[in-house]
Structure 1
Protein backbone atom coordinates (compact mmCIF):
# COMPACT_ATOMS: atom_id res chain seq x y z
CA UNK A 1 0.00 0.00 0.00
CA UNK A 2 2.75 2.42 0.96
CA UNK A 3 4.61 1.55 -2.23
CA UNK A 4 1.51 2.42 -4.32
CA UNK A 5 1.09 5.81 -2.59
CA UNK A 6 4.75 6.68 -3.21
CA UNK A 7 4.39 5.64 -6.87
CA UNK A 8 1.20 7.72 -7.21
CA UNK A 9 2.82 10.81 -5.66
CA UNK A 10 5.88 10.36 -7.89
CA UNK A 11 3.65 10.09 -10.97
CA UNK A 12 1.69 13.24 -10.04
CA UNK A 13 4.93 15.19 -9.47
CA UNK A 14 6.23 14.08 -12.87
CA UNK A 15 2.98 15.07 -14.58
CA UNK A 16 2.90 18.50 -12.97
CA UNK A 17 6.62 19.09 -13.44
CA UNK A 18 6.50 17.98 -17.07
CA UNK A 19 4.02 20.66 -18.13
CA UNK A 20 6.53 23.49 -18.39
CA UNK A 21 6.38 23.58 -22.19
CA UNK A 22 4.47 26.45 -23.78
CA UNK A 23 1.32 25.54 -25.61
CA UNK A 24 -0.72 27.70 -27.94
CA UNK A 25 -3.99 28.76 -26.39
CA UNK A 26 -6.92 29.52 -28.63
CA UNK A 27 -9.67 32.01 -27.86
CA UNK A 28 -12.31 33.75 -29.89
CA UNK A 29 -13.33 37.36 -30.36
CA UNK A 30 -16.76 38.62 -31.37
CA UNK A 31 -16.46 41.43 -33.92
CA UNK A 32 -18.04 44.69 -32.74
CA UNK A 33 -19.39 47.56 -34.83
CA UNK A 34 -16.49 49.76 -35.96
CA UNK A 35 -13.86 47.01 -35.59
CA UNK A 36 -11.22 46.45 -38.22
CA UNK A 37 -8.80 43.56 -38.61
CA UNK A 38 -5.95 45.95 -37.85
CA UNK A 39 -7.60 47.17 -34.63
CA UNK A 40 -8.35 43.59 -33.48
CA UNK A 41 -4.83 42.43 -34.37
CA UNK A 42 -3.25 45.35 -32.48
CA UNK A 43 -5.44 44.75 -29.43
CA UNK A 44 -4.52 41.06 -29.29
CA UNK A 45 -0.85 41.67 -30.25
CA UNK A 46 -0.98 39.54 -33.40
CA UNK A 47 -0.65 40.41 -37.08
CA UNK A 48 -3.46 40.93 -39.58
CA UNK A 49 -2.00 38.08 -41.66
CA UNK A 50 -2.15 35.72 -38.64
CA UNK A 51 -5.82 36.62 -38.01
CA UNK A 52 -6.64 35.95 -41.65
CA UNK A 53 -4.72 32.65 -41.62
CA UNK A 54 -6.36 31.38 -38.39
CA UNK A 55 -9.81 32.23 -39.75
CA UNK A 56 -9.32 31.11 -43.38
CA UNK A 57 -10.03 34.64 -44.62
CA UNK A 58 -9.24 35.75 -48.18
CA UNK A 59 -10.15 39.44 -47.67
CA UNK A 60 -10.06 42.02 -44.87
CA UNK A 61 -13.87 42.26 -44.69
CA UNK A 62 -15.39 41.51 -41.27
CA UNK A 63 -18.93 41.94 -39.96
CA UNK A 64 -20.31 42.72 -36.49
CA UNK A 65 -21.18 39.50 -34.66
CA UNK A 66 -18.60 37.44 -36.57
CA UNK A 67 -16.50 35.15 -34.34
CA UNK A 68 -12.75 35.30 -34.96
CA UNK A 69 -10.33 32.68 -33.70
CA UNK A 70 -7.25 34.15 -31.98
CA UNK A 71 -4.25 31.97 -31.14
CA UNK A 72 -1.92 33.00 -28.33
CA UNK A 73 1.43 31.37 -27.69
CA UNK A 74 3.61 31.85 -24.62
CA UNK A 75 6.74 31.43 -26.75
CA UNK A 76 5.55 34.13 -29.14
CA UNK A 77 4.85 36.52 -26.25
CA UNK A 78 8.28 35.86 -24.73
CA UNK A 79 10.03 36.50 -28.05
CA UNK A 80 8.10 39.77 -28.49
CA UNK A 81 9.14 40.86 -24.98
CA UNK A 82 12.76 40.02 -25.82
CA UNK A 83 12.55 42.05 -29.06
CA UNK A 84 11.17 45.07 -27.14
CA UNK A 85 14.30 45.05 -24.97
CA UNK A 86 16.50 45.48 -28.07
CA UNK A 87 16.64 49.14 -28.99
CA UNK A 88 15.89 49.61 -32.68
CA UNK A 89 18.33 51.94 -34.37
CA UNK A 90 17.89 52.63 -38.09
CA UNK A 91 21.62 52.20 -38.71
CA UNK A 92 21.64 48.75 -37.09
CA UNK A 93 19.85 46.59 -39.62
CA UNK A 94 21.15 43.36 -38.02
CA UNK A 95 18.66 43.84 -35.13
CA UNK A 96 15.78 44.38 -37.54
CA UNK A 97 15.78 40.95 -39.22
CA UNK A 98 15.89 42.50 -42.69
CA UNK A 99 14.44 40.13 -45.28
CA UNK A 100 15.07 42.31 -48.31
CA UNK A 101 16.21 45.81 -49.19
CA UNK A 102 14.96 47.61 -52.30
CA UNK A 103 14.99 51.10 -53.76
CA UNK A 104 11.54 52.55 -54.38
CA UNK A 105 10.00 55.75 -55.65
CA UNK A 106 8.19 57.27 -52.65
CA UNK A 107 5.43 59.85 -52.81
CA UNK A 108 3.23 61.12 -49.96
CA UNK A 109 -0.48 61.30 -49.14
CA UNK A 110 -2.85 62.38 -46.36
CA UNK A 111 -6.19 61.16 -45.07
CA UNK A 112 -7.78 64.35 -46.44
CA UNK A 113 -6.91 64.11 -50.14
CA UNK A 114 -9.68 64.40 -52.76
CA UNK A 115 -11.65 61.16 -52.84
CA UNK A 116 -9.92 59.72 -49.75
CA UNK A 117 -12.03 58.18 -46.99
CA UNK A 118 -9.21 58.26 -44.45
CA UNK A 119 -9.53 54.50 -43.93
CA UNK A 120 -6.89 52.25 -45.47
CA UNK A 121 -7.60 49.04 -47.35
CA UNK A 122 -6.60 47.11 -44.20
CA UNK A 123 -9.03 49.13 -42.07
CA UNK A 124 -6.70 51.61 -40.36
CA UNK A 125 -8.56 54.87 -39.64
CA UNK A 126 -5.90 57.50 -40.43
CA UNK A 127 -8.07 60.41 -39.29
CA UNK A 128 -8.34 58.88 -35.81
CA UNK A 129 -4.68 57.81 -35.84
CA UNK A 130 -2.77 60.77 -37.32
CA UNK A 131 0.54 59.56 -35.86
CA UNK A 132 0.32 56.16 -37.56
CA UNK A 133 3.22 55.26 -39.81
CA UNK A 134 1.50 53.63 -42.79
CA UNK A 135 2.60 53.15 -46.36
CA UNK A 136 0.58 52.28 -49.45
CA UNK A 137 2.19 49.51 -51.50
CA UNK A 138 1.76 47.23 -54.46
CA UNK A 139 0.87 44.01 -52.57
CA UNK A 140 2.57 41.90 -55.24
CA UNK A 141 5.87 43.56 -54.28
CA UNK A 142 5.32 44.18 -50.54
CA UNK A 143 2.46 42.18 -48.96
CA UNK A 144 -0.08 44.08 -46.84
CA UNK A 145 0.74 43.84 -43.13
CA UNK A 146 4.50 43.78 -43.74
CA UNK A 147 6.65 45.79 -41.34
CA UNK A 148 9.18 48.02 -43.06
CA UNK A 149 11.81 50.66 -42.42
CA UNK A 150 11.75 53.54 -44.92
CA UNK A 151 14.82 55.75 -45.23
CA UNK A 152 13.90 59.27 -44.02
CA UNK A 153 10.45 58.18 -42.76
CA UNK A 154 11.11 55.46 -40.16
CA UNK A 155 9.38 52.23 -39.16
CA UNK A 156 5.98 51.68 -40.76
CA UNK A 157 3.46 49.05 -41.79
CA UNK A 158 2.32 48.28 -45.31
CA UNK A 159 -1.33 49.01 -44.62
CA UNK A 160 -2.78 50.49 -47.78
CA UNK A 161 -2.86 50.24 -51.57
CA UNK A 162 -3.33 52.86 -54.25
CA UNK A 163 -4.36 52.82 -57.88
CA UNK A 164 -1.10 54.53 -58.92
CA UNK A 165 1.08 52.38 -56.65
CA UNK A 166 2.44 49.70 -58.97
CA UNK A 167 5.81 47.94 -58.87
CA UNK A 168 8.57 49.59 -56.82
CA UNK A 169 6.48 52.59 -55.76
CA UNK A 170 5.17 53.42 -52.30
CA UNK A 171 3.04 56.21 -50.87
CA UNK A 172 3.83 57.45 -47.34
CA UNK A 173 1.07 58.65 -45.02
CA UNK A 174 1.51 62.06 -43.41
CA UNK A 175 -1.05 63.70 -41.07
CA UNK A 176 -1.00 67.06 -42.89
CA UNK A 177 -0.84 68.25 -46.49
CA UNK A 178 2.11 70.49 -45.59
CA UNK A 179 4.15 67.47 -44.46
CA UNK A 180 3.12 65.50 -47.55
CA UNK A 181 4.14 68.38 -49.86
CA UNK A 182 7.42 68.77 -47.97
CA UNK A 183 8.22 65.08 -48.62
CA UNK A 184 7.34 65.39 -52.30
CA UNK A 185 8.57 62.46 -54.40
CA UNK A 186 11.97 60.83 -54.08
CA UNK A 187 13.82 57.55 -54.44
CA UNK A 188 14.55 55.92 -51.07
CA UNK A 189 15.77 52.61 -49.73
CA UNK A 190 13.22 50.46 -47.94
CA UNK A 191 14.02 47.54 -45.68
CA UNK A 192 11.41 44.79 -45.57
CA UNK A 193 11.47 43.36 -42.05
CA UNK A 194 10.68 39.91 -40.78
Structure 2
Protein backbone atom coordinates (compact mmCIF):
# COMPACT_ATOMS: atom_id res chain seq x y z
CA UNK A 1 0.00 0.00 0.00
CA UNK A 2 2.82 2.40 0.89
CA UNK A 3 4.58 1.77 -2.42
CA UNK A 4 1.38 2.41 -4.36
CA UNK A 5 0.88 5.74 -2.55
CA UNK A 6 4.51 6.67 -3.28
CA UNK A 7 3.96 6.07 -7.01
CA UNK A 8 0.85 8.22 -7.02
CA UNK A 9 2.67 10.92 -5.05
CA UNK A 10 5.62 10.88 -7.49
CA UNK A 11 3.36 11.13 -10.54
CA UNK A 12 1.36 13.92 -8.95
CA UNK A 13 4.55 15.88 -8.13
CA UNK A 14 5.89 15.30 -11.63
CA UNK A 15 2.64 16.54 -13.18
CA UNK A 16 2.70 19.60 -10.94
CA UNK A 17 6.34 20.31 -11.81
CA UNK A 18 5.69 20.00 -15.55
CA UNK A 19 2.60 22.22 -15.30
CA UNK A 20 4.45 25.00 -13.48
CA UNK A 21 7.45 24.61 -15.78
CA UNK A 22 5.31 25.03 -18.89
CA UNK A 23 3.48 27.98 -17.37
CA UNK A 24 6.77 29.70 -16.54
CA UNK A 25 8.09 29.14 -20.07
CA UNK A 26 4.95 30.49 -21.71
CA UNK A 27 4.75 33.84 -19.90
CA UNK A 28 6.04 36.86 -21.78
CA UNK A 29 8.36 39.44 -20.38
CA UNK A 30 7.06 42.96 -19.97
CA UNK A 31 10.58 44.34 -20.41
CA UNK A 32 10.96 43.17 -23.99
CA UNK A 33 13.07 45.63 -25.99
CA UNK A 34 10.76 45.55 -28.98
CA UNK A 35 7.18 46.60 -28.90
CA UNK A 36 4.49 45.17 -31.07
CA UNK A 37 1.48 47.18 -32.11
CA UNK A 38 -0.22 44.53 -34.21
CA UNK A 39 0.48 41.34 -36.11
CA UNK A 40 1.51 43.37 -39.19
CA UNK A 41 5.27 43.89 -38.98
CA UNK A 42 5.23 46.91 -41.28
CA UNK A 43 3.04 48.83 -38.87
CA UNK A 44 5.64 48.45 -36.10
CA UNK A 45 8.49 49.01 -38.51
CA UNK A 46 7.10 52.23 -39.98
CA UNK A 47 6.30 53.86 -36.64
CA UNK A 48 9.63 52.86 -35.16
CA UNK A 49 11.35 54.34 -38.24
CA UNK A 50 9.30 57.54 -38.13
CA UNK A 51 9.95 58.07 -34.42
CA UNK A 52 13.72 57.81 -34.97
CA UNK A 53 14.10 59.65 -38.28
CA UNK A 54 11.20 62.13 -38.15
CA UNK A 55 10.55 62.58 -34.41
CA UNK A 56 8.35 65.67 -34.79
CA UNK A 57 6.64 64.45 -37.91
CA UNK A 58 3.38 64.44 -39.49
CA UNK A 59 1.30 67.44 -38.62
CA UNK A 60 0.07 67.31 -42.21
CA UNK A 61 -0.35 64.93 -45.14
CA UNK A 62 2.76 66.29 -46.90
CA UNK A 63 5.02 65.43 -43.96
CA UNK A 64 3.41 61.99 -43.63
CA UNK A 65 3.93 61.33 -47.36
CA UNK A 66 7.62 62.28 -47.12
CA UNK A 67 8.12 60.03 -44.09
CA UNK A 68 6.36 57.08 -45.77
CA UNK A 69 8.36 57.51 -48.99
CA UNK A 70 11.64 57.70 -47.07
CA UNK A 71 10.73 54.55 -45.08
CA UNK A 72 9.55 52.70 -48.20
CA UNK A 73 12.95 53.01 -49.85
CA UNK A 74 14.66 51.28 -46.90
CA UNK A 75 12.58 48.13 -47.50
CA UNK A 76 13.73 45.34 -49.78
CA UNK A 77 11.51 44.30 -52.73
CA UNK A 78 10.15 41.23 -50.89
CA UNK A 79 9.05 43.36 -47.94
CA UNK A 80 7.42 45.87 -50.29
CA UNK A 81 5.59 43.06 -52.12
CA UNK A 82 4.31 41.61 -48.83
CA UNK A 83 2.90 44.99 -47.81
CA UNK A 84 1.27 45.48 -51.21
CA UNK A 85 -0.37 42.06 -50.93
CA UNK A 86 -1.74 42.54 -47.42
CA UNK A 87 -2.88 46.18 -47.30
CA UNK A 88 -6.48 46.64 -48.43
CA UNK A 89 -7.18 48.72 -51.55
CA UNK A 90 -3.52 49.06 -52.57
CA UNK A 91 -3.08 50.99 -55.83
CA UNK A 92 -0.07 49.98 -57.90
CA UNK A 93 2.47 52.65 -58.72
CA UNK A 94 6.16 53.45 -58.51
CA UNK A 95 6.13 54.04 -54.77
CA UNK A 96 4.00 53.34 -51.76
CA UNK A 97 0.24 53.90 -51.75
CA UNK A 98 0.28 56.51 -48.99
CA UNK A 99 -3.51 56.72 -48.60
CA UNK A 100 -3.88 52.91 -48.34
CA UNK A 101 -1.09 52.74 -45.76
CA UNK A 102 -2.58 55.62 -43.78
CA UNK A 103 -5.96 53.88 -43.75
CA UNK A 104 -4.33 50.59 -42.69
CA UNK A 105 -2.37 52.31 -39.90
CA UNK A 106 -5.49 54.08 -38.62
CA UNK A 107 -7.54 50.87 -38.68
CA UNK A 108 -4.87 48.98 -36.74
CA UNK A 109 -4.53 51.80 -34.17
CA UNK A 110 -8.29 51.92 -33.56
CA UNK A 111 -8.38 48.13 -33.07
CA UNK A 112 -5.92 48.27 -30.16
CA UNK A 113 -7.19 48.24 -26.57
CA UNK A 114 -6.81 51.58 -24.71
CA UNK A 115 -4.06 50.18 -22.45
CA UNK A 116 -1.96 49.19 -25.48
CA UNK A 117 -2.55 52.59 -27.12
CA UNK A 118 -1.33 54.26 -23.91
CA UNK A 119 1.76 52.04 -23.75
CA UNK A 120 2.61 52.77 -27.38
CA UNK A 121 2.03 56.51 -26.98
CA UNK A 122 4.41 56.58 -24.01
CA UNK A 123 7.09 54.66 -25.94
CA UNK A 124 6.72 56.98 -28.95
CA UNK A 125 6.97 60.02 -26.70
CA UNK A 126 10.13 58.63 -25.12
CA UNK A 127 11.79 58.15 -28.53
CA UNK A 128 10.55 61.51 -29.84
CA UNK A 129 11.89 63.28 -26.74
CA UNK A 130 15.25 61.58 -27.15
CA UNK A 131 15.48 62.39 -30.87
CA UNK A 132 13.94 65.86 -30.72
CA UNK A 133 15.34 67.08 -27.40
CA UNK A 134 18.78 67.87 -26.08
CA UNK A 135 19.68 64.44 -24.68
CA UNK A 136 21.66 63.62 -27.86
CA UNK A 137 24.16 65.88 -29.58
CA UNK A 138 23.43 66.91 -33.16
CA UNK A 139 26.15 64.49 -34.35
CA UNK A 140 24.55 61.63 -32.41
CA UNK A 141 21.11 62.46 -33.83
CA UNK A 142 22.55 62.58 -37.35
CA UNK A 143 24.23 59.19 -36.81
CA UNK A 144 20.95 57.64 -35.58
CA UNK A 145 19.02 59.07 -38.54
CA UNK A 146 21.66 57.90 -41.03
CA UNK A 147 21.60 54.42 -39.50
CA UNK A 148 17.79 54.25 -39.66
CA UNK A 149 17.61 55.58 -43.23
CA UNK A 150 19.96 52.89 -44.57
CA UNK A 151 18.97 49.46 -45.83
CA UNK A 152 21.02 48.02 -42.94
CA UNK A 153 18.95 49.74 -40.29
CA UNK A 154 17.82 48.04 -37.09
CA UNK A 155 14.93 45.65 -37.38
CA UNK A 156 12.33 44.81 -34.81
CA UNK A 157 12.33 41.48 -33.06
CA UNK A 158 9.42 39.61 -34.54
CA UNK A 159 7.83 36.42 -33.38
CA UNK A 160 8.53 33.48 -35.65
CA UNK A 161 5.09 32.00 -34.90
CA UNK A 162 2.50 33.27 -37.35
CA UNK A 163 -0.42 31.12 -36.25
CA UNK A 164 -1.89 30.20 -32.91
CA UNK A 165 -0.64 27.01 -31.32
CA UNK A 166 -3.40 24.41 -31.06
CA UNK A 167 -3.77 21.56 -28.64
CA UNK A 168 -4.21 18.07 -30.10
CA UNK A 169 -7.79 17.09 -30.91
CA UNK A 170 -7.59 14.01 -28.69
CA UNK A 171 -5.40 12.94 -25.83
CA UNK A 172 -4.24 9.47 -24.80
CA UNK A 173 -6.48 7.79 -22.29
CA UNK A 174 -6.35 4.75 -20.07
CA UNK A 175 -3.52 3.30 -18.03
CA UNK A 176 -1.27 2.08 -20.84
CA UNK A 177 1.11 5.03 -20.91
CA UNK A 178 0.14 6.40 -24.31
CA UNK A 179 2.82 9.06 -24.33
CA UNK A 180 2.69 9.89 -20.65
CA UNK A 181 5.86 10.61 -18.76
CA UNK A 182 6.85 7.68 -16.59
CA UNK A 183 5.54 4.95 -18.87
CA UNK A 184 3.01 2.27 -18.00
CA UNK A 185 0.05 2.19 -15.70
CA UNK A 186 -0.31 1.02 -12.13
CA UNK A 187 1.62 -2.10 -11.20
CA UNK A 188 0.41 -4.63 -8.69
TM-score normalised to structure 1 length: 0.24
When you count helix as a share of all residues, which structure comes out higher?
2
Larger radius of gyration: 2
Query: What is the TM-score normalised by the length of structure 2?
Result: 0.25
